[in-house]
Structure 1
Amino acid sequence: MGITDFFSAAWDTFSVPSPDAEAPVQGGSSTKTPASGTDEESKDEKEVNQKDAKSQDDGEQGHKPGDKDEEEEEEEEESVDPKDTLEQECTESKECSPAKHHYDECVERVTGQIESDGKAKEDCIEEFFHLAHCATQCAAPKLFAQLK
């Protein structure tokens, strides 16, 4: 490879192609029909779509709404997470009643502040986390006993 071959290869690599040299269109949709590039149907498309709509009612196979599979899915019940149920029971239990009492009082205070001032001066995040922690601690042994 000579020095001239090197420079011509470098020139070809870094040169910018001319803007009017475009590759011919390959594949894709036709640009010769009047409906091309729009959402409107041409006469031919409209006729074909109408024929297709009529022929679908003539026993065409495929999934249609209301098929057997859909009915089976509706009959299946979603399983309830036992953790949520146990935590709810623990929240209402005697064990977590002090935490629930503090949380309920805080909610009443904050609700009163919002109604009177339009905004709250505090939030009940700390009380909520104490209640959630109590419910989780209460529910954990019961949950693991169910899982065994």
Structure 2
Amino acid sequence: MKLAIGADHAGFPLKEEIRGYLERLEHEVIDLGAYNAEPSDYADFAEAVGRTLIAGRAQRGILVCGSGVGVNVAANKMPGIRACMCHDTYSAHQGVEHDDMNVLVLGARIIGPALAFELVSSFLNAHFQKHEERFVRRLNKVLAIEARYMGETARH
């Protein structure tokens, strides 16, 4: 599978471990940075992974930051991106099967490499259950919400 991966400085060490794991499994990995542990901004990497998926250059993405929260929030601002932070294997596969999740988000300060590998494996081996009417109906509702609100100015 062709995968886009990105992380900020806090996620850099775990991203490197995951990249190596994916390459050992013979996936094609597009590494979008960070390329070192120098301070960086998580939003830049979330956008890079999202843009790569939107452009069709990768099938799925993986994002890593310290907690996972920052890249999760940023990635979900992009149309067509369904990023979910998962720190258990059930959510990692169920998010794909039921919700067509296309970006796995991990917190490098929350989990270690062994669990990350299990989560990545669960994510990559899962497939959206497109023949299950309730999951298609729900995804279509999510897509309709996205269509209604994308482009509106954020308020805070």
TM-score range, shorter chain: under 0.3
Higher relative contact order (CA 8 A, sep 6+): 2
Larger C-alpha radius of gyration, 1 or 2? 1
- Which structure has more helix as a fraction of its residues? 1
Q: TM-score, normalised on structure 2?
A: 0.19
